[in-house]
């Protein structure tokens, strides 16, 4: 099996070196860039399997790099940032990042996230090709698209993963920790608000069907589409 290529984009050389050492020790091929403009040139020629991306960088910040990548690719993106406010995380997830890690961070935890994001993507690729329809909601697992009525929902990769997981497990209640494990693919690491943020965005996308994602107080969430909802 070929080694996975990981592109690390950060303007701090020391951080790139630390991440690079851990990636190489875990049998990844490590590539680096110190600014957004250089990163995009490398990205276009390298076609990496995963990108680790800092927010604050010269010449082109991480948000803009994320937007450019998402125009042509749905590869996993892990965002690094010194800003840990909910607004910043929400903004990142809306742009399509798969994970958001606040600096300072544990390199070992970052490696766990890298493996989880990649393994989750592999699992999605091997998923059964099928379509599930619940009333006017249609999930096409082959095309990775979700329609509500005649409208194609504009979802980030992780929003799609979460909503499709809910649909597959209609009626079952899952705790935030269980959803992190099942959808994000790593053991719970202390930020259940990640799930809350994505549920909030999904409800906005579902519009008149927003009440299909039900809050089970003190437990978590479930997906319900009963006759009267």
Helix, strand, or coil here: 103?
A: coil
For 118-128, give one letter per residue: b (16+ CB within 10 A) or e: bebbeeeeeee
Has domain 131-223 been given CATH number 3.30.930.10? no
Look at 130-144, 161-175, 182-196 and tell me which has the smallest mean pLDDT. Answer: 182-196
Give the mean model confidence (pLDDT) for residues 1-16: 92
* Domain boundaries, given as residue ranges, for the chain: 5-125, 131-223
Do 46 and 78 touch, CB atoms closer than 8 A? no
Q: How many CB atoms lie within 10 A of CB 138?
A: 17
- DSSP per-residue codes, 110-162: HHHHHHHHHHHHHHHHTS---EEEETTEEEETTTTEEEETTEEP---HHHHHH
> In this predicted model, what pLDDT tens digit does every residue of 73-84 receive, in sequence order?
878 899 998 876
Cβ-contact 157, 74 below 8 angstroms: yes
Task: Please give the order of strands across the beta sheet that includes 29-33.
Answer: 29-33, 5-9, 50-54, 77-81, 99-102
Separation of alpha carbons 182 and 83, rounded Å:
26
Does residue 95 have a pLDDT over 90?
no
Overall pTM > 0.75? no
Mean pLDDT, rounded, for 192-217: 90
5-125 fold: Rossmann fold (3.40.50)
Strand partners for 148? 137, 151
**Range of weakest confidence among 83-87, 113-117, 184-188:** 184-188
Question: According to the per-residue pLDDT averaged within each range, which of 26-35, 94-103, 134-143 is highest?
Answer: 26-35
First-to-last CA distance in the chain?
A: 47
Our CA angle for 166, 51, 201, nearest 5°, is 30
Are 58 and 35 within 8 A, CB to CB? yes
């Amino acid at each position: 099996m070929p080694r996975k290529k990981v592109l690390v984009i950060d303007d701090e050389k020391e951080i790139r070196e630390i991440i690079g050492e851990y990636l190489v020790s875990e049998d990844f091929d490590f590539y680096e860039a110190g600014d957004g403009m250089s990163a995009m040139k490398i990205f276009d020629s390298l076609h990496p399997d995963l990108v680790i991306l800092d927010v604050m960088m010269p010449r082109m910040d991480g948000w803009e790099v994320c937007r450019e990548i998402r125009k042509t690719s749905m590869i996993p993106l892990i965002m690094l940032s010194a800003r840990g406010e909910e607004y910043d995380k929400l903004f990142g997830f809306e742009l399509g990042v798969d994970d958001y890690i606040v600096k300072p961070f544990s390199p070992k935890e970052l490696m766990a996230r890298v493996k989880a994001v990649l393994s989750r993507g592999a699992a999605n690729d091997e998923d059964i090709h099928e379509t599930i329809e619940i009333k006017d909601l249609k999930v096409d697992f082959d095309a990775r698209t979700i329609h509500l009525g005649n409208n194609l929902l504009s979802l980030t990769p992780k929003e799609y993963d979460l909503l499709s997981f809910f649909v597959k497990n209609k009626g079952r209640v899952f705790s935030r920790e269980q959803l992190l494990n099942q959808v994000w693919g790593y053991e719970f690491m202390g930020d259940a608000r990640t799930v809350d943020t994505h549920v909030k965005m999904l409800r906005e996308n579902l519009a008149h069907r927003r009440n299909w994602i039900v809050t089970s107080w003190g437990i978590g969430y479930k997906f319900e589409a009963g006759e009267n909802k």
